[in-house]
Amino acid sequence: MSDFNKSAIDADIRPHSITEDQLSSDNVSHDMWEWDDPGDATPVLHLRDDWDIEFPDDVEIGGDLDVGGDLDVGGDLDIGEDLLVTRHAYVGSWLGVVGELCAPFFRSEALDTSPHTPEDDDLSVLYEITTGAGDFTFNLPTAAANADRRLWILKADAAAGAVIIDGEGAEVIYNQDQSYTTLELWHQGDWALLWCDGAQWWKVNGPTWHKVSDPAVDWLGSKTAGWTADSFTSGWEVDFSAVVPAGTKAVRLFTLLYDAGGGLGRIWWRKSGDTNISNTPGAGQEWSHQLFYLIGDAGPNYLSEQVVLWLSADYKVQIAVEATDFDVYLAYPIEYLL
């Protein structure tokens, strides 16, 4: 098709005068179009319903152009008055609009069939995902083809399935200072806003505390023997990977310290492998990472508290004690930070 030129649109043009020869290309014919005739003004050319339109060359229209679907122009686009595009607009060369330009920077889409991979270079989109009983895999498009794009991903239903957000190939997803191969949304209303810088995807909505809807009532774990005093590497490593979603940065839970004999002692925590905290916290005077400081009587003594523990990228913490006769208990998390 050669250039599409309708600069002569005026009040004399009526629908019955539009021929298939005048409005046609490889995938567009006149029956997709309609005129909105205001009577005393320039008629507006509409693309009906949610049709998409693609022109390989230039487009010039003297009045308004209203496209219900996608508009793809391989060459120049020259609009004498207003341009309205409901979905995606692509112009290969230059865009000239004398009147108002209305094209979306954002749209929403409901999904219920797993897996789903968005097309490259689409709009910023809110995806409302219904998982049902099984997990729903949302595959991120490659970062190199989606620079400066944003995706909102929402788990919309209360069913048991999780939304699993997976980077393309070996690409990881950054959540602040840590990277993850996947992020997971477990509960209704959980959401993530992802932004692409052209090299990787970032979770850019601030980490949010999420309440665990039905936490287990037993202890997640305990250590009552085999301690090495003042040592993270020979202490107790606790793995939370089975009880929090992928991408979790911290947990809130109940802790209990029991000391049968009475006396003095401290308990410390750190992200597993955190080299900013000494492997021997007592010798290193790591006051910032103490869980408890027990100054006891003859015993037995108890200390309990709800605490926040920050996790390593593989969802682990390390516990160290000063007195090797301590018993330490950790409950299942009641909240997680994602």
- Within 8 A by CB and 6+ apart from 21, the residues are none
Instruction: Specify which residues 210 forms β-bridges with.
Output: 336
Nearest Cα to 131, choosing from 117, 114, 118? 114
CATH code: domain 219-337 is 2.60.120.340
Give the model's pLDDT for residue 18: 33
CA distances from 330 to 36, 104, 218, 233, 334 (A): 68, 49, 9, 19, 11
CA atoms within 13 A on the CB side of 159: 15
Give the model's pLDDT for residue 284: 85
For residue 70, pLDDT over 90 is answered with: no
Q: How far apart are CA 129 and CA 108, in angstroms?
A: 11
The 10s digit of each residue's pLDDT in 122-180 is: 778 899 999 999 999 999 999 999 988 999 999 999 999 999 999 999 999 999 889 99
Same fold for the pair 106-206 and 219-337: yes
**What's the first-to-final CA gap in the chain, in angstroms?**
52
Residues constituting the chain: 338
Q: How far apart are CA 34 and CA 17, in angstroms?
A: 12
- Own/partner contacts of 38-47, CB < 8 Å, gap of 24 or more, are 40/11, 41/11, 42/9, 42/10, 42/11, 42/81, 43/9, 43/11, 43/13, 43/14, 44/82, 45/6, 45/9
Give the model's pLDDT for residue 69: 66
Query: Residue 39 gets which letter from DSSP?
Result: S
> Looking at residues 41-46, what average pLDDT do you find?
49
Domain ranges of the chain: 4-102, 106-206, 219-337
The 10s digit of each residue's pLDDT in 208-224 is: 899 988 889 999 999 99
Q: Are 93 and 78 in contact (CB under 8 A)?
A: no
Q: How far apart are CA 57 and CA 59, in angstroms?
A: 7
Give the model's pLDDT for residue 76: 72
pLDDT band with cut points at 50, 70 and 90 for residue 21 = very low
Q: How far apart are CA 124 and CA 105, in angstroms?
A: 6
3-state secondary structure of 330: strand
Nearest Cα to 182, choosing from 157, 209, 163, 197? 163
Give the model's pLDDT for residue 142: 95
Give the model's pLDDT for residue 302: 87
Query: Residue 215 gets which letter from DSSP?
Result: -
What percent of the chain lies above the pLDDT cut of 70? 67
Tokens 């022109």 sit on residue: 55
- Within 8 A by CB and 6+ apart from 128, the residues are 108, 109, 110, 111, 154, 156
Give the model's pLDDT for residue 9: 35
Q: Give per-residue burial for 22-31: e unless 16+ CB within 10 Å, then b.
A: ebeeeebeee
Q: How far apart are CA 13 and CA 6, in angstroms?
A: 10
CATH code: domain 106-206 is 2.60.120
CB 64: neighbour CB atoms within 10 A? 22
Instruction: Specify which residues 265 forms β-bridges with.
Output: 294
Tokens of 232: 């993270």
Q: Are 109 and 138 in contact (CB under 8 A)?
A: no
The 10s digit of each residue's pLDDT in 248-305 is: 999 999 999 998 876 678 999 999 999 999 999 999 888 899 998 887 666 788 889 9
Q: Which of 24-38, 234-248, 278-292 tops mean pLDDT? A: 234-248
What percent of the chain lies above the pLDDT cut of 90? 53
Query: How high is the mean pLDDT of the chain?
Result: 80
Give the model's pLDDT for residue 34: 52
Chain centroid, CA 241 distance in Å: 19
DSSP per-residue string spanning 269-299: EEETT-TTS-SSTTTTT-GGGEEEEEE--SS
